[in-house]
Amino acid sequence: MIAILKHGTTPEQMQHLVDWLKHMNLDVHISEGAEVTVLGLIGDTSRVDMELLKSLEMVETVKRVSEPFKQANRKFHPKDTIVEAGGVRIGGGYFAMIAGPCSVESEEQIIEVAQAVKASGANILRGGAFKPRTSPYAFQGMKGEGIKLLLKAKEATGLPIVTEIMNISTLDLFADVDIIQVGARNMQNFDLLKELGKTKKPILLKRGLANTLQELLMSAEYIMSEGNEQIILCERGIRTFETATRNTLDLSAVSVLHNLTHLPVVVDPSHATGKANLVAPMAYAAAACGADAIMVEVHNNPSCALCDGAQSLTPPQFDELSRKVRRIREAIV
């Protein structure tokens, strides 16, 4: 349930109302905007007398929120959330370009790629250290050592870093990581989400291979329900009957999510298509439909990459993509 307060309500009046609502065992989330203040009520709202609440002098309207996601809901929080990570902002008009290899493979590789993508305009470095691979015999990532190398690349370039967590037992290793990624395969690992909700770290939450947008938002809600509101949602392609691409990029997800939620949305055209020659066109489409960030895999030698070489761009290819994405952004905003 939400209660929209009238313009001109004093802080004292609002506090009085909030105390009364809390007294009914409700959690109250306050979202103050320039135009309106919204009180989002979470808990058993069936006992709230809507007519009584509506009749209060300071209350403009009261509405039930039918969607199961509450804190992630734009009705609860009309203003766009701006996520801040290592000095970079994402959402609410701030656009981020995230680039880097699928996996960290060596110090030379990650530093070379980090310097190249930075020179081409990327403002966040990606790189997997813990890799969720379909085969247990495939390269599983450099793990803790990989995170150390990412931190070296961060020191060398000043770029904030994003890398994936697979198990909460490794959380200590992420102390200096700027954004923690939850991969598609862990989108509904609810225990992991709840633990990440207790941290203050920005979380990049990828959509599961076969999950609906409502399920993605419910996963965000798990993180938010523990107190962490710094979440970036990621569309990375979903499973369909189509086999021409690795996954099917659901670009309409960007607009659907922007309507439903205040959280920023990043598009990953690399995992969505699985093919390097399709990454740039889908990145342009993502920028054109208003994505708040684009995340692209870049490798200094894709044919020798230990993971996802077929979808990785070379630094010159990324340079062209980055230039064109910037031009598209200028055209649409």
Which residue number is nearest to Mn ion in terms of Cβ?
102
Interaction of residue 246 with ligand PEP, rule CB under 6 A: no
Q: Least distance to ligand PEP from the beta carbon of 190, Å?
A: 17
Count of all residues that appear for the chain in the document: 333
d(C-alpha 157, C-alpha 26), whole Å: 46
Residue 132 contact partner, candidates ligand PEP, Mn ion, none, CB within 5 to 8 A by sort of partner: ligand PEP
Q: Least distance to ligand PEP from the beta carbon of 95, Å?
A: 19
Contacting ligand PEP within 266-285 (CB under 6 A): 271
Q: Least distance to ligand PEP from the beta carbon of 159, Å?
A: 17
Interaction of residue 102 with ligand PEP, rule CB under 6 A: yes
d(C-alpha 140, C-alpha 164), whole Å: 12
d(C-alpha 164, C-alpha 162), whole Å: 7
Nearest to 201 by CA among 165, 169, 234, 166: 165
Which residue number is nearest to ligand PEP in terms of Cβ?
183
Among 1, 41, 102, 296, binds Mn ion (CB under 5 A): 102
Nearest to 220 by CA among 43, 46, 81, 124: 81
Site string for ligand PEP, 143-182 (x = CB under 6 A): ---------------------x------------------
Q: Least distance to ligand PEP from the beta carbon of 330, Å?
A: 28
Contacting ligand PEP within 203-232 (CB under 6 A): 206
Among 236, 246, 258, 262, binds ligand PEP (CB under 6 A): 236
Among 308, 317, 319, 325, binds Mn ion (CB under 5 A): 308
d(C-alpha 33, C-alpha 130), whole Å: 40
CB-CB contact of 1 with 65 (8 Å): yes
Beta carbon nearer to ligand PEP, 21 or 182? 182
Beta carbon nearer to ligand PEP, 262 or 271? 271
> Applying CB under 5 A, which residues contact Mn ion?
102, 308
> Applying CB under 6 A, which residues contact ligand PEP?
102, 128, 132, 164, 183-185, 206, 236, 271
